[in-house]
C-alpha cells in the first residue's frame, strides 16, 4: 500500500467517526431517544370549543348607529392596496367595491377572476354578510 491510500483511508475513517459522534451527541442534546416523547408532536393549546360560550356582541344596527366615518376611512386605507371604491373604477388585485352591497357574492365586478371558494359561496352581499366577512 502506498502512503496516499493510507492518508485517504485515514481521512475517510476520521470523517465517519466525526459523523457518528455528531449523531450521538445531537441525539443526546435533543433527547431523540427520550421515553417522554409525546405520541403527537407539537403543543396542545387549550381553547374553548367553537361556538361554545360565544358572546354575540351588539347587533349590527347598534354598530352602524355608533360608527365613525373618519375611523372607517382610516381602516379602509389598508384595503386600498388592493381595492378601489370609485364608481366605474378599475379592479386592481381585488375588485372595485363601488356598489357591492346587494350584489351577488363573487360576481360583483364583471371580468374579475374571483376565487372558486367565493364564487361557489352563493348569496348576496348584505350588511350581515359583509360584517361576517370583514
Report whether pLDDT(53) > 70.
Answer: no
Q: What is the pLDDT of residues 6-50, one digit of tens each?
A: 999 999 999 999 999 999 888 888 876 666 767 777 888 888 777
- Per the model's pLDDT, the better-predicted residue between 17 and 64 turns out to be 17
Helix (H) or strand (E) holding 63: helix 60-65
Domains of the chain: 69-133 (1.10.760.10)
CA distance 94 to 114: 9
Q: How sure is the predictor about 92, in pLDDT bands with cuts at 50, 70 and 90?
A: confident
Confidence of residue 66 (pLDDT cuts 50, 70, 90): confident
Distance in angstroms (rounded) separating the CA atoms of residues 26 and 84: 54
Task: Give the count of beta carbons closer than 10 Å to the beta carbon of residue 99.
Answer: 13
Rounded Cα distance, 26 and 23, in Å: 5
Amino acid at each position: 500500500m502506498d502512503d496516499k491510500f493510507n492518508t485517504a483511508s485515514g481521512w475517510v475513517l476520521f470523517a465517519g467517526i466525526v459523523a457518528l459522534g455528531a449523531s450521538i451527541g445531537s441525539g443526546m442534546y435533543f433527547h431523540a431517544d427520550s421515553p417522554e416523547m409525546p405520541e403527537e408532536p407539537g403543543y396542545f393549546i387549550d381553547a374553548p370549543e367553537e361556538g361554545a360560550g360565544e358572546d354575540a356582541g351588539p347587533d349590527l344596527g347598534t354598530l352602524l348607529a355608533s360608527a365613525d366615518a373618519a375611523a372607517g376611512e382610516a381602516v379602509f386605507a389598508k384595503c386600498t392596496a388592493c381595492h378601489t371604491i370609485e364608481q366605474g373604477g378599475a379592479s386592481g388585485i381585488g375588485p372595485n367595491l363601488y356598489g357591492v352591497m346587494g350584489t351577488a357574492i363573487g360576481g360583483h365586478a364583471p371580468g374579475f377572476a374571483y376565487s372558486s371558494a367565493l364564487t361557489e359561496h352563493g348569496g348576496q352581499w348584505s350588511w350581515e354578510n359583509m360584517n361576517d366577512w370583514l
